[in-house]
Amino acid sequence: MEDEKIVEKKDVKNEENFKNYKKAIKNEKKYNLLSKLIKTNKLKFIFIILLIVIIVSIVVGVKTTKKKESTDFTYLNQLLEKSSELTSAKLKITGIENYKDAGAMIINRSDFTMVYTATIRAGVELKEVKVEPNNITKEIIITIPKAKVFDCHVNQEDIKYFDEKFALFNVDSKEDANKACALAEQDGIKEAEQTGILEFAETEAEYVIKDILTPALPKGYKLIIKR
């Protein structure tokens, strides 16, 4: 009987050891699985951080590039805005102005013929020039406005008067001369426009603007001129 009890105790003990062994193996498997999960999650976490760093670097790089390009384009505008007008053509003309005064003949009306020389300036308004960058095609498109006559200046020293009509009470002869000059300037502008000065001024303005902007172009960009 005592031997049987000893055997039973041994069996019970062996069974408990086996259960503990199985439990230990099960716990070890859980630990290994947990370790793998932790390692996997660590790798995922590191990968996500690297991905975020790469994306941030790309975004910052793009913004920096755009900022540099924007600065360059602003500089191009500043070059053009240094002068409000670009005189690209000048024309000297000699004209005749037949001035008819108001009033009564002999009493206060003084008619005369005036021969004059005048200088006409034509060109484009630089503040109206448009600068449009295209970062895809690497082009900077410059749109030039239509040329116009800026002014017509009659040289007072070269004026010669002919056929002056006598008037007893012509007290405003200087004013008559000024009026005649104003009319001469209007006629000079009309005459200049008929000579093709505006077309010539636009062509010359294109060459001048190219010379101004080409040295300041960002690397890899080309200039396109439009009218």
Cβ proximity of 119 and 90 under 8 Å: yes
The tokens describing 45, both together, are 């976490």
The residue among 46, 87, 68 whose CA lies nearest residue 135 is: 68
Q: Are 78 and 105 found together in one domain?
A: no
What's the domain count of the chain? 2
The tokens describing 46, both together, are 């590191």
Tally of helices (H runs) and strands (E runs) in the chain: 3, 7
Q: Are 75 and 108 found together in one domain?
A: no
Q: Are 213 and 168 found together in one domain?
A: yes
pLDDT of residue 43: 47
What is the rounded (10 degree) CA torsion for 46, 51, 56, 61? 130
- Name the one residue in this structure whose structure tokens are 């002919």: 162
Asked which of 62, 82, 102 is the last residue of a domain, the reply is 82
pLDDT of residue 66: 47
pLDDT of residue 182: 87
The tokens describing 206, both together, are 């294109």
Strand-strand pairing, 85-99 and 139-143: unpaired
Q: Are 71 and 91 found together in one domain?
A: no
Q: Are 119 and 196 found together in one domain?
A: yes
d(CA 93, CA 154): 9
Taking phi over 0 as left and psi of -120 to 50 as alpha, with beta for the rest, 106 belongs to left
The tokens describing 122, both together, are 């034509």
Cβ proximity of 210 and 131 under 8 Å: no
Q: Are 131 and 202 found together in one domain?
A: yes
The amino acid at residue 70 is: S
pLDDT of residue 17: 54
d(CA 192, CA 94): 11
Asked which of 60, 82, 104 is the last residue of a domain, the reply is 82
The amino acid at residue 138 is: K
Range of the domain at 166: 84-226
Q: Are 39 and 141 found together in one domain?
A: no
**Gap between the terminal Cα atoms of the chain:** 121
Q: Are 70 and 88 found together in one domain?
A: no
pLDDT of residue 134: 86
Q: Are 105 and 142 found together in one domain?
A: yes
Q: Are 202 and 120 found together in one domain?
A: yes
Q: Are 38 and 113 found together in one domain?
A: no
pLDDT of residue 36: 53
209 burial (CB, 10 Å; 0-12 / 13-18 / 19+) is buried
pLDDT of residue 114: 82
Q: Are 13 and 112 found together in one domain?
A: no
Residues in the chain: 227
Q: Which residues of the chain have pLDDT under 70?
A: 1-83, 100-111, 163-176
Asked which of 82, 107, 125 is the last residue of a domain, the reply is 82
